[in-house]
Structure 1
Amino acid sequence: MNHQQPVKIALAGNPNVGKSTLFNTLTGLKQHTGNWPGKTVIHAEGQFSYKGVDYTIIDLPGTYSLFSNSADEEVARDFIVFERPDLTIVVLDATSIERNLNLALQVMEMTDKVIVCINLIDEAKKKGIYINEKALMKKLGVPVIKISARNKVGINQLLDTIDRMISGKISTSPYQIQYSPEIEKKVETLIPHVQRVFGKELPARWLALRLLDGDESFITAYSKKIEKERGDGLTHEHSYPAKTQQL
Protein backbone atom coordinates (compact mmCIF):
# COMPACT_ATOMS: atom_id res chain seq x y z
CA MET A 1 0.00 0.00 0.00
CA ASN A 2 1.54 3.26 -1.11
CA HIS A 3 0.38 6.15 1.05
CA GLN A 4 1.04 9.68 -0.21
CA GLN A 5 -1.17 11.02 2.58
CA PRO A 6 -0.43 10.11 6.20
CA VAL A 7 -2.07 6.86 7.30
CA LYS A 8 -5.16 7.71 9.37
CA ILE A 9 -5.62 5.87 12.68
CA ALA A 10 -8.61 6.22 15.02
CA LEU A 11 -8.12 5.54 18.73
CA ALA A 12 -11.30 4.30 20.44
CA GLY A 13 -12.04 3.09 23.96
CA ASN A 14 -14.11 3.43 27.11
CA PRO A 15 -13.35 6.39 29.44
CA ASN A 16 -10.39 5.84 31.78
CA VAL A 17 -8.72 2.96 29.93
CA GLY A 18 -5.51 4.91 29.32
CA LYS A 19 -6.37 5.81 25.73
CA SER A 20 -5.00 9.34 26.03
CA THR A 21 -1.83 7.99 27.66
CA LEU A 22 -1.29 5.77 24.60
CA PHE A 23 -2.03 8.76 22.34
CA ASN A 24 0.63 10.82 24.18
CA THR A 25 3.13 7.93 24.12
CA LEU A 26 2.79 7.57 20.34
CA THR A 27 2.70 11.26 19.39
CA GLY A 28 4.81 12.99 22.05
CA LEU A 29 4.55 16.74 21.45
CA LYS A 30 3.37 16.35 17.85
CA GLN A 31 -0.28 16.91 18.66
CA HIS A 32 -2.95 19.58 18.82
CA THR A 33 -6.46 19.86 20.23
CA GLY A 34 -9.60 21.73 19.26
CA ASN A 35 -13.30 20.99 19.04
CA TRP A 36 -15.12 18.70 16.62
CA PRO A 37 -17.07 20.80 14.08
CA GLY A 38 -20.39 21.89 15.56
CA LYS A 39 -19.72 20.08 18.87
CA THR A 40 -18.38 20.99 22.29
CA VAL A 41 -16.48 17.68 22.24
CA ILE A 42 -12.66 17.90 22.34
CA HIS A 43 -10.85 16.83 19.15
CA ALA A 44 -7.27 15.63 19.70
CA GLU A 45 -5.05 14.78 16.74
CA GLY A 46 -1.36 13.89 16.59
CA GLN A 47 1.37 12.63 14.30
CA PHE A 48 4.10 10.02 14.43
CA SER A 49 6.30 8.14 11.96
CA TYR A 50 7.38 4.50 11.93
CA LYS A 51 9.58 2.72 9.37
CA GLY A 52 9.34 5.67 7.00
CA VAL A 53 5.54 5.89 7.10
CA ASP A 54 3.76 8.99 8.45
CA TYR A 55 0.68 8.48 10.61
CA THR A 56 -2.06 10.81 11.82
CA ILE A 57 -3.81 9.49 14.91
CA ILE A 58 -7.17 10.82 16.13
CA ASP A 59 -8.04 10.31 19.79
CA LEU A 60 -11.81 9.74 19.72
CA PRO A 61 -13.91 10.68 22.77
CA GLY A 62 -14.05 7.94 25.41
CA THR A 63 -17.37 6.10 25.07
CA TYR A 64 -19.04 2.92 26.33
CA SER A 65 -20.86 2.34 23.04
CA LEU A 66 -21.27 3.73 19.52
CA PHE A 67 -25.01 4.21 19.56
CA SER A 68 -26.53 7.69 19.65
CA ASN A 69 -26.88 8.33 23.36
CA SER A 70 -24.52 11.32 23.55
CA ALA A 71 -22.51 13.80 21.48
CA ASP A 72 -19.34 11.84 22.34
CA GLU A 73 -20.80 8.61 20.96
CA GLU A 74 -22.03 10.32 17.79
CA VAL A 75 -18.62 11.90 17.15
CA ALA A 76 -16.81 8.56 17.57
CA ARG A 77 -19.36 6.67 15.45
CA ASP A 78 -19.44 9.25 12.64
CA PHE A 79 -15.65 9.38 12.42
CA ILE A 80 -15.25 5.62 12.02
CA VAL A 81 -18.13 5.33 9.52
CA PHE A 82 -17.73 8.51 7.44
CA GLU A 83 -13.99 9.22 7.63
CA ARG A 84 -13.12 5.54 7.21
CA PRO A 85 -9.75 5.53 8.99
CA ASP A 86 -7.12 3.15 7.61
CA LEU A 87 -7.06 1.50 11.02
CA THR A 88 -8.98 1.69 14.30
CA ILE A 89 -7.23 0.78 17.55
CA VAL A 90 -9.65 -0.14 20.36
CA VAL A 91 -8.06 0.25 23.79
CA LEU A 92 -9.35 -2.02 26.57
CA ASP A 93 -8.66 -2.02 30.31
CA ALA A 94 -6.98 -5.32 31.21
CA THR A 95 -8.74 -5.30 34.61
CA SER A 96 -12.27 -5.13 33.14
CA ILE A 97 -12.09 -6.69 29.68
CA GLU A 98 -15.60 -8.09 29.68
CA ARG A 99 -17.20 -4.66 30.10
CA ASN A 100 -14.82 -3.08 27.56
CA LEU A 101 -15.41 -5.73 24.87
CA ASN A 102 -18.85 -4.28 24.12
CA LEU A 103 -17.25 -1.29 22.37
CA ALA A 104 -14.69 -3.47 20.56
CA LEU A 105 -17.45 -5.70 19.14
CA GLN A 106 -19.37 -2.63 17.94
CA VAL A 107 -16.28 -1.26 16.16
CA MET A 108 -15.74 -4.67 14.55
CA GLU A 109 -19.26 -4.45 13.08
CA MET A 110 -18.26 -1.17 11.42
CA THR A 111 -14.81 -1.98 10.05
CA ASP A 112 -12.49 -4.97 9.62
CA LYS A 113 -9.35 -2.83 10.05
CA VAL A 114 -9.09 -3.21 13.81
CA ILE A 115 -6.38 -3.83 16.41
CA VAL A 116 -7.47 -4.57 19.98
CA CYS A 117 -5.00 -3.10 22.45
CA ILE A 118 -5.20 -4.35 26.05
CA ASN A 119 -3.77 -1.63 28.29
CA LEU A 120 -2.98 -1.56 32.02
CA ILE A 121 -1.51 -5.08 32.02
CA ASP A 122 0.66 -4.03 34.98
CA GLU A 123 -2.50 -3.31 37.01
CA ALA A 124 -4.01 -6.63 35.93
CA LYS A 125 -0.87 -8.47 37.07
CA LYS A 126 -1.14 -6.87 40.53
CA LYS A 127 -4.70 -8.21 40.75
CA GLY A 128 -3.65 -11.69 39.65
CA ILE A 129 -5.40 -11.39 36.27
CA TYR A 130 -3.78 -13.23 33.35
CA ILE A 131 -4.93 -12.55 29.80
CA ASN A 132 -4.33 -15.10 27.06
CA GLU A 133 -4.10 -12.71 24.12
CA LYS A 134 -3.56 -15.53 21.60
CA ALA A 135 -6.88 -17.17 22.57
CA LEU A 136 -8.59 -13.78 22.43
CA MET A 137 -7.04 -13.07 19.02
CA LYS A 138 -8.31 -16.40 17.70
CA LYS A 139 -11.82 -15.67 18.98
CA LEU A 140 -12.01 -12.03 17.83
CA GLY A 141 -10.29 -12.53 14.46
CA VAL A 142 -8.14 -9.38 14.80
CA PRO A 143 -4.68 -8.69 16.32
CA VAL A 144 -4.66 -8.38 20.12
CA ILE A 145 -1.69 -6.66 21.76
CA LYS A 146 -1.01 -6.36 25.52
CA ILE A 147 0.54 -3.06 26.59
CA SER A 148 1.20 -0.71 29.46
CA ALA A 149 1.08 2.71 27.80
CA ARG A 150 2.47 4.61 30.78
CA ASN A 151 5.43 2.21 31.18
CA LYS A 152 5.89 1.91 27.39
CA VAL A 153 5.54 -1.89 27.53
CA GLY A 154 4.40 -3.52 24.27
CA ILE A 155 4.56 -0.28 22.26
CA ASN A 156 7.11 -1.65 19.78
CA GLN A 157 4.94 -4.72 19.19
CA LEU A 158 1.94 -2.44 18.63
CA LEU A 159 3.87 -0.29 16.13
CA ASP A 160 5.08 -3.39 14.30
CA THR A 161 1.50 -4.74 14.13
CA ILE A 162 0.25 -1.38 12.78
CA ASP A 163 2.98 -1.49 10.12
CA ARG A 164 2.12 -5.06 9.11
CA MET A 165 -1.61 -4.33 8.91
CA ILE A 166 -1.17 -1.18 6.83
CA SER A 167 1.20 -2.99 4.44
CA GLY A 168 -1.32 -5.81 4.01
CA LYS A 169 0.74 -8.51 5.72
CA ILE A 170 -2.01 -9.14 8.28
CA SER A 171 -5.55 -9.91 7.21
CA THR A 172 -8.44 -9.89 9.66
CA SER A 173 -11.78 -11.66 10.00
CA PRO A 174 -13.56 -9.83 12.83
CA TYR A 175 -16.00 -11.75 15.01
CA GLN A 176 -19.58 -10.74 14.23
CA ILE A 177 -22.27 -10.87 16.90
CA GLN A 178 -25.12 -13.13 15.87
CA TYR A 179 -28.51 -11.77 16.90
CA SER A 180 -31.84 -13.59 17.17
CA PRO A 181 -32.95 -15.55 14.06
CA GLU A 182 -35.69 -12.97 13.49
CA ILE A 183 -33.23 -10.04 13.48
CA GLU A 184 -30.70 -11.93 11.35
CA LYS A 185 -33.41 -12.66 8.78
CA LYS A 186 -34.36 -8.98 8.59
CA VAL A 187 -30.70 -7.96 8.29
CA GLU A 188 -30.22 -10.46 5.45
CA THR A 189 -33.24 -8.98 3.65
CA LEU A 190 -32.06 -5.39 4.14
CA ILE A 191 -28.42 -5.79 3.12
CA PRO A 192 -28.99 -5.95 -0.70
CA HIS A 193 -31.17 -2.80 -0.51
CA VAL A 194 -28.55 -1.01 1.61
CA GLN A 195 -25.82 -1.95 -0.87
CA ARG A 196 -27.95 -0.74 -3.78
CA VAL A 197 -28.46 2.66 -2.14
CA PHE A 198 -24.98 3.17 -0.66
CA GLY A 199 -22.70 0.92 -2.70
CA LYS A 200 -19.63 0.12 -0.63
CA GLU A 201 -19.59 3.52 0.99
CA LEU A 202 -20.92 2.30 4.34
CA PRO A 203 -20.73 -1.07 6.17
CA ALA A 204 -23.93 -2.75 4.96
CA ARG A 205 -24.58 -5.12 7.88
CA TRP A 206 -23.95 -2.42 10.47
CA LEU A 207 -26.19 0.04 8.61
CA ALA A 208 -28.98 -2.55 8.31
CA LEU A 209 -28.82 -3.01 12.10
CA ARG A 210 -28.95 0.77 12.63
CA LEU A 211 -32.01 1.06 10.38
CA LEU A 212 -33.73 -1.77 12.26
CA ASP A 213 -32.89 0.03 15.49
CA GLY A 214 -34.52 3.22 14.15
CA ASP A 215 -31.34 5.23 14.72
CA GLU A 216 -32.62 8.66 13.65
CA SER A 217 -29.46 10.40 14.84
CA PHE A 218 -27.42 8.46 12.28
CA ILE A 219 -29.90 9.24 9.49
CA THR A 220 -29.66 12.96 10.38
CA ALA A 221 -25.84 12.81 10.46
CA TYR A 222 -25.71 11.13 7.06
CA SER A 223 -28.12 13.68 5.56
CA LYS A 224 -25.91 16.53 6.82
CA LYS A 225 -22.86 14.87 5.35
CA ILE A 226 -24.51 14.63 1.91
CA GLU A 227 -25.64 18.27 2.08
CA LYS A 228 -22.11 19.38 3.00
CA GLU A 229 -20.57 17.41 0.14
CA ARG A 230 -23.02 18.98 -2.30
CA GLY A 231 -22.23 22.39 -0.85
CA ASP A 232 -18.53 21.70 -1.34
CA GLY A 233 -19.22 20.82 -4.97
CA LEU A 234 -18.67 17.09 -4.56
CA THR A 235 -20.94 14.94 -6.67
CA HIS A 236 -23.03 12.34 -4.94
CA GLU A 237 -25.45 9.97 -6.57
CA HIS A 238 -27.73 9.43 -3.65
CA SER A 239 -29.75 11.36 -1.14
CA TYR A 240 -30.26 9.41 2.03
CA PRO A 241 -33.77 10.53 3.07
CA ALA A 242 -35.27 10.00 -0.38
CA LYS A 243 -33.64 6.69 -1.08
CA THR A 244 -34.39 5.19 2.32
CA GLN A 245 -38.01 5.12 1.30
CA GLN A 246 -36.96 2.22 -0.96
CA LEU A 247 -35.79 0.28 2.12
Structure 2
Amino acid sequence: MPLHYHPSKTDKNLPVKTMYRVALAGNPNTGKSTLFNALTGLRQHTGNWPGKTVLHAEGTYDFNGKTFKLIDLPGTYSLYSNSADEEVARDCIVFEQPDVTVVVLDATAMERNMNLALQVLEITDQVILCVNLMDEARKKGIWIDTRKLSAKLGVPVIPTTARNHDGLQRLQRTIEEMVEGKIPTHPYRVHYGEEIEKRIAEMEPDIRAIFDAQLPSRWIALRLLDGDQNLVDALKNRLNRDGEEKGSHGTDQPLYPIEA
Protein backbone atom coordinates (compact mmCIF):
# COMPACT_ATOMS: atom_id res chain seq x y z
CA MET A 1 0.00 0.00 0.00
CA PRO A 2 1.43 3.42 -0.90
CA LEU A 3 2.58 5.48 2.04
CA HIS A 4 -0.22 8.05 1.98
CA TYR A 5 -2.96 5.93 0.46
CA HIS A 6 -6.25 6.11 2.31
CA PRO A 7 -8.91 3.62 1.19
CA SER A 8 -12.25 5.06 0.19
CA LYS A 9 -15.56 3.70 1.43
CA THR A 10 -15.80 1.60 -1.73
CA ASP A 11 -12.48 -0.16 -1.08
CA LYS A 12 -14.10 -2.73 1.21
CA ASN A 13 -11.54 -5.46 0.60
CA LEU A 14 -8.48 -3.35 1.45
CA PRO A 15 -7.06 -3.17 4.98
CA VAL A 16 -7.35 0.13 6.77
CA LYS A 17 -4.07 1.47 8.06
CA THR A 18 -4.13 2.08 11.81
CA MET A 19 -0.43 2.71 12.56
CA TYR A 20 1.12 5.95 11.36
CA ARG A 21 4.69 7.23 11.63
CA VAL A 22 5.26 10.82 12.74
CA ALA A 23 8.71 12.43 12.80
CA LEU A 24 9.45 15.29 15.21
CA ALA A 25 12.07 17.67 13.81
CA GLY A 26 13.37 20.92 15.25
CA ASN A 27 16.29 23.01 16.43
CA PRO A 28 17.84 22.21 19.82
CA ASN A 29 16.03 23.78 22.80
CA THR A 30 12.64 24.14 21.14
CA GLY A 31 10.93 21.82 23.63
CA LYS A 32 10.79 19.01 21.07
CA SER A 33 11.71 16.29 23.56
CA THR A 34 9.23 17.71 26.07
CA LEU A 35 6.54 17.42 23.40
CA PHE A 36 7.66 13.86 22.63
CA ASN A 37 7.46 12.90 26.31
CA ALA A 38 4.11 14.60 26.79
CA LEU A 39 2.58 12.69 23.88
CA THR A 40 4.11 9.26 24.49
CA GLY A 41 4.47 9.12 28.29
CA LEU A 42 6.07 5.81 29.27
CA ARG A 43 5.37 4.23 25.88
CA GLN A 44 8.80 4.93 24.47
CA HIS A 45 12.22 3.41 24.05
CA THR A 46 15.67 4.65 23.09
CA GLY A 47 18.75 3.26 21.38
CA ASN A 48 21.09 4.34 18.60
CA TRP A 49 20.36 4.84 14.92
CA PRO A 50 21.85 1.97 12.86
CA GLY A 51 25.53 2.62 12.24
CA LYS A 52 25.48 5.86 14.23
CA THR A 53 26.23 6.97 17.78
CA VAL A 54 23.23 9.31 17.55
CA LEU A 55 20.40 8.64 20.02
CA HIS A 56 17.25 7.16 18.51
CA ALA A 57 14.03 7.68 20.47
CA GLU A 58 10.64 6.27 19.49
CA GLY A 59 7.32 6.20 21.28
CA THR A 60 3.64 5.68 20.59
CA TYR A 61 0.30 7.17 21.50
CA ASP A 62 -3.27 6.29 20.60
CA PHE A 63 -5.82 8.76 19.27
CA ASN A 64 -9.34 8.00 18.05
CA GLY A 65 -8.58 4.30 17.58
CA LYS A 66 -5.35 4.87 15.68
CA THR A 67 -1.80 4.34 16.87
CA PHE A 68 0.86 6.92 16.07
CA LYS A 69 4.56 6.11 16.29
CA LEU A 70 6.62 9.20 17.10
CA ILE A 71 10.24 9.41 16.03
CA ASP A 72 12.15 12.07 17.95
CA LEU A 73 14.81 13.23 15.48
CA PRO A 74 18.05 14.79 16.73
CA GLY A 75 17.85 18.52 17.26
CA THR A 76 19.44 20.22 14.22
CA TYR A 77 19.63 23.66 12.63
CA SER A 78 19.60 22.30 9.08
CA LEU A 79 19.53 19.15 6.93
CA TYR A 80 22.79 19.93 5.15
CA SER A 81 24.85 16.83 6.10
CA ASN A 82 27.25 18.83 8.26
CA SER A 83 27.05 16.37 11.16
CA ALA A 84 25.83 12.89 12.07
CA ASP A 85 22.73 14.43 13.67
CA GLU A 86 21.84 16.25 10.45
CA GLU A 87 22.42 13.13 8.36
CA VAL A 88 20.09 11.10 10.59
CA ALA A 89 17.34 13.72 10.47
CA ARG A 90 17.74 14.13 6.71
CA ASP A 91 17.71 10.40 5.98
CA CYS A 92 14.60 9.83 8.07
CA ILE A 93 12.57 12.54 6.35
CA VAL A 94 13.89 11.95 2.82
CA PHE A 95 14.29 8.17 2.65
CA GLU A 96 11.99 6.75 5.34
CA GLN A 97 9.23 9.22 4.46
CA PRO A 98 7.10 9.39 7.62
CA ASP A 99 3.37 9.91 7.19
CA VAL A 100 3.71 13.34 8.83
CA THR A 101 6.70 15.47 9.83
CA VAL A 102 6.03 17.85 12.71
CA VAL A 103 8.56 20.69 12.83
CA VAL A 104 8.76 22.12 16.35
CA LEU A 105 9.58 25.83 16.48
CA ASP A 106 10.54 28.06 19.42
CA ALA A 107 7.93 30.82 19.57
CA THR A 108 10.55 33.20 21.01
CA ALA A 109 13.04 32.67 18.14
CA MET A 110 10.96 32.17 15.01
CA GLU A 111 13.41 33.70 12.55
CA ARG A 112 16.24 31.38 13.59
CA ASN A 113 13.96 28.33 13.55
CA MET A 114 12.44 28.97 10.13
CA ASN A 115 15.61 27.87 8.30
CA LEU A 116 14.98 24.22 9.19
CA ALA A 117 11.23 24.55 8.63
CA LEU A 118 11.71 25.85 5.08
CA GLN A 119 14.11 23.00 4.31
CA VAL A 120 11.55 20.43 5.46
CA LEU A 121 8.88 22.14 3.35
CA GLU A 122 11.17 21.59 0.33
CA ILE A 123 11.17 17.84 1.01
CA THR A 124 7.61 16.84 1.86
CA ASP A 125 4.02 18.10 1.64
CA GLN A 126 3.03 16.24 4.82
CA VAL A 127 4.21 18.90 7.28
CA ILE A 128 2.75 20.49 10.40
CA LEU A 129 4.50 23.38 12.12
CA CYS A 130 4.20 23.26 15.90
CA VAL A 131 4.97 26.66 17.43
CA ASN A 132 5.99 25.67 20.96
CA LEU A 133 6.89 27.67 24.08
CA MET A 134 3.97 30.01 23.53
CA ASP A 135 3.93 30.83 27.25
CA GLU A 136 7.51 32.12 27.05
CA ALA A 137 6.61 34.20 23.99
CA ARG A 138 3.72 35.84 25.87
CA LYS A 139 6.04 36.71 28.76
CA LYS A 140 8.30 38.50 26.29
CA GLY A 141 5.42 40.33 24.65
CA ILE A 142 5.67 38.30 21.44
CA TRP A 143 2.42 37.63 19.58
CA ILE A 144 2.35 35.18 16.67
CA ASP A 145 -0.49 35.12 14.15
CA THR A 146 -0.51 31.37 13.47
CA ARG A 147 -3.42 31.64 11.01
CA LYS A 148 -1.56 34.13 8.84
CA LEU A 149 1.62 32.06 9.11
CA SER A 150 -0.31 28.97 8.03
CA ALA A 151 -1.78 30.81 5.04
CA LYS A 152 1.69 32.05 4.04
CA LEU A 153 3.45 28.69 4.39
CA GLY A 154 0.63 26.50 3.09
CA VAL A 155 0.63 24.00 5.97
CA PRO A 156 -1.09 23.81 9.39
CA VAL A 157 0.52 25.83 12.18
CA ILE A 158 -0.41 24.79 15.72
CA PRO A 159 0.53 26.82 18.84
CA THR A 160 1.50 24.76 21.89
CA THR A 161 3.08 24.86 25.32
CA ALA A 162 4.14 21.23 25.64
CA ARG A 163 5.16 21.32 29.29
CA ASN A 164 1.61 22.38 30.23
CA HIS A 165 0.00 20.13 27.58
CA ASP A 166 -1.58 23.24 26.04
CA GLY A 167 -2.56 22.68 22.41
CA LEU A 168 -1.55 19.01 22.32
CA GLN A 169 -5.03 17.67 21.62
CA ARG A 170 -5.38 20.09 18.70
CA LEU A 171 -1.99 18.94 17.41
CA GLN A 172 -3.03 15.30 17.66
CA ARG A 173 -6.30 16.02 15.86
CA THR A 174 -4.43 17.84 13.08
CA ILE A 175 -1.99 14.94 12.68
CA GLU A 176 -4.94 12.55 12.43
CA GLU A 177 -6.68 14.70 9.82
CA MET A 178 -3.50 14.95 7.78
CA VAL A 179 -2.89 11.19 7.65
CA GLU A 180 -6.54 10.75 6.66
CA GLY A 181 -5.99 13.06 3.72
CA LYS A 182 -8.40 15.69 5.02
CA ILE A 183 -5.89 18.56 5.01
CA PRO A 184 -4.64 19.71 1.58
CA THR A 185 -1.26 21.40 1.81
CA HIS A 186 0.58 23.77 -0.52
CA PRO A 187 4.03 24.14 1.08
CA TYR A 188 5.89 27.38 0.49
CA ARG A 189 8.94 26.84 -1.70
CA VAL A 190 11.80 29.31 -1.83
CA HIS A 191 12.53 30.78 -5.28
CA TYR A 192 16.28 30.75 -5.87
CA GLY A 193 16.57 33.01 -8.90
CA GLU A 194 16.14 32.42 -12.62
CA GLU A 195 19.43 30.62 -13.29
CA ILE A 196 19.17 28.18 -10.38
CA GLU A 197 15.48 27.51 -11.02
CA LYS A 198 16.35 26.73 -14.66
CA ARG A 199 19.00 24.21 -13.54
CA ILE A 200 16.55 22.63 -11.09
CA ALA A 201 13.93 22.24 -13.84
CA GLU A 202 16.51 20.61 -16.11
CA MET A 203 17.61 18.10 -13.44
CA GLU A 204 14.26 17.11 -11.96
CA PRO A 205 13.04 14.84 -14.82
CA ASP A 206 16.23 12.77 -14.65
CA ILE A 207 16.06 12.51 -10.87
CA ARG A 208 12.43 11.40 -11.02
CA ALA A 209 13.34 8.82 -13.67
CA ILE A 210 16.15 7.38 -11.54
CA PHE A 211 14.11 7.16 -8.35
CA ASP A 212 10.64 6.49 -9.80
CA ALA A 213 9.28 9.72 -8.26
CA GLN A 214 9.79 8.23 -4.79
CA LEU A 215 12.11 10.96 -3.55
CA PRO A 216 11.81 14.79 -3.51
CA SER A 217 13.36 15.67 -6.85
CA ARG A 218 13.47 19.44 -6.31
CA TRP A 219 15.26 19.16 -2.98
CA ILE A 220 17.73 16.61 -4.35
CA ALA A 221 18.49 18.89 -7.30
CA LEU A 222 19.19 21.75 -4.91
CA ARG A 223 21.54 19.64 -2.81
CA LEU A 224 23.39 18.37 -5.88
CA LEU A 225 23.82 21.92 -7.14
CA ASP A 226 25.16 22.84 -3.71
CA GLY A 227 27.78 20.09 -3.89
CA ASP A 228 26.50 17.79 -1.14
CA GLN A 229 28.78 14.77 -1.65
CA ASN A 230 27.39 13.09 1.45
CA LEU A 231 23.93 13.07 -0.12
CA VAL A 232 25.35 11.71 -3.39
CA ASP A 233 26.83 8.79 -1.43
CA ALA A 234 23.54 8.20 0.37
CA LEU A 235 21.63 8.20 -2.92
CA LYS A 236 24.08 5.72 -4.48
CA ASN A 237 23.74 3.45 -1.44
CA ARG A 238 19.97 3.56 -1.78
CA LEU A 239 20.13 2.70 -5.48
CA ASN A 240 22.43 -0.24 -4.78
CA ARG A 241 20.24 -1.47 -1.90
CA ASP A 242 17.09 -1.21 -4.01
CA GLY A 243 18.84 -3.09 -6.80
CA GLU A 244 19.85 -5.90 -4.45
CA GLU A 245 16.31 -6.17 -3.09
CA LYS A 246 15.03 -6.56 -6.65
CA GLY A 247 17.53 -9.34 -7.31
CA SER A 248 19.91 -7.32 -9.46
CA HIS A 249 23.48 -6.24 -8.80
CA GLY A 250 22.69 -2.66 -7.93
CA THR A 251 23.29 0.16 -10.36
CA ASP A 252 26.13 2.10 -11.86
CA GLN A 253 23.74 4.71 -13.22
CA PRO A 254 25.55 8.02 -12.83
CA LEU A 255 24.18 10.87 -10.78
CA TYR A 256 24.89 14.48 -11.61
CA PRO A 257 28.53 15.32 -10.96
CA ILE A 258 29.27 17.55 -8.01
CA GLU A 259 30.38 20.95 -9.14
CA ALA A 260 32.87 23.14 -7.35
Does the TM-score normalized on the shorter chain lie above 0.5?
Answer: yes
Corresponding residue of 1:243: 254
Q: For 1:64, what is the secondary structure of its paired residue?
A: coil
Contact 1:92 1:100 in 2 (8 A): yes
Q: For 1:243, what is the secondary structure of its paired residue?
A: coil
Corresponding residue of 2:53: 40
Q: For 2:152, what is the secondary structure of its paired residue?
A: helix
Q: What does the per-residue CA deviation read over 1:124-146, in whole Å, with 9 as the maximum and x for residues that have no partner?
A: 00000000000000000000000
What is the one-letter code of the residue matched to 1:48? Y
Go from structure 1 to structure 2 and tell me whether the alpha carbon gap of 1:137 and 1:60 turns closer, same or farther (over 3 Å shift): same
2:109 to 77, 96, 109: 96
Corresponding residue of 2:160: 147
2:139 to 101, 126, 130: 126
**What is the percent sequence identity of the aligned residues?**
55
For 1:71-220, what aligned pairs fall within 5 Å after superposition? 71-220=84-233
Unaligned runs of 5+ in 2: 1-5, 8-15
1:222 to 206, 230, 235: 235
Go from structure 1 to structure 2 and tell me whether the alpha carbon gap of 1:236 and 1:202 turns closer, same or farther (over 3 Å shift): farther
Corresponding residue of 1:52: 65
Q: For 1:85, what is the secondary structure of its paired residue?
A: coil
The Cα of 1:225 is off from its aligned counterpart by 2.9
Q: For 1:175, what is the secondary structure of its paired residue?
A: coil
Q: For 1:89, what is the secondary structure of its paired residue?
A: strand
What is the one-letter code of the residue matched to 1:207? I
Go from structure 1 to structure 2 and tell me whether the alpha carbon gap of 1:236 and 1:120 turns closer, same or farther (over 3 Å shift): farther
Go from structure 1 to structure 2 and tell me whether the alpha carbon gap of 1:52 and 1:189 turns closer, same or farther (over 3 Å shift): same
Q: For 2:162, what is the secondary structure of its paired residue?
A: coil
Go from structure 1 to structure 2 and tell me whether the alpha carbon gap of 1:98 and 1:234 turns closer, same or farther (over 3 Å shift): same
CA–CA separation in structure 2 for the residues paired with 1:163 and 1:155:
12
Contact 2:241 2:250 in 1 (8 A): no
The Cα of 1:246 is off from its aligned counterpart by 9.3
Contact 1:198 1:238 in 2 (8 A): no
CA–CA separation in structure 1 for the residues paired with 2:177 and 2:210:
33
Corresponding residue of 2:11: none
Comparing 184-193 with 134-143, greater Cα deviation is found at 184-193
TM-score (structure 1 length as normaliser): 0.94
Comparing 188-197 with 28-37, greater Cα deviation is found at 188-197
The Cα of 1:21 is off from its aligned counterpart by 0.3
Go from structure 1 to structure 2 and tell me whether the alpha carbon gap of 1:156 and 1:5 turns closer, same or farther (over 3 Å shift): closer
What is the one-letter code of the residue matched to 1:243? P
The Cα of 1:35 is off from its aligned counterpart by 0.3
Q: What does the per-residue CA deviation read over 1:45-91, in whole Å, with 9 as the maximum and x for residues that have no partner?
A: 00111000111110000000000100000000011011010000000
Contact 1:94 1:118 in 2 (8 A): yes
Corresponding residue of 1:10: 23
Aligned residue pair count: 245
Q: What does the per-residue CA deviation read over 1:102-136, in whole Å, with 9 as the maximum and x for residues that have no partner?
A: 10000000000000000000000000000000000
Contact 1:68 1:218 in 2 (8 A): yes
TM-score (structure 2 length as normaliser): 0.90
What is the one-letter code of the residue matched to 1:88? T
The Cα of 1:194 is off from its aligned counterpart by 1.2
Comparing 216-225 with 21-30, greater Cα deviation is found at 216-225
The Cα of 1:5 is off from its aligned counterpart by 5.7
CA–CA separation in structure 2 for the residues paired with 1:151 and 1:234:
49
CA–CA separation in structure 1 for the residues paired with 2:169 and 2:195:
45
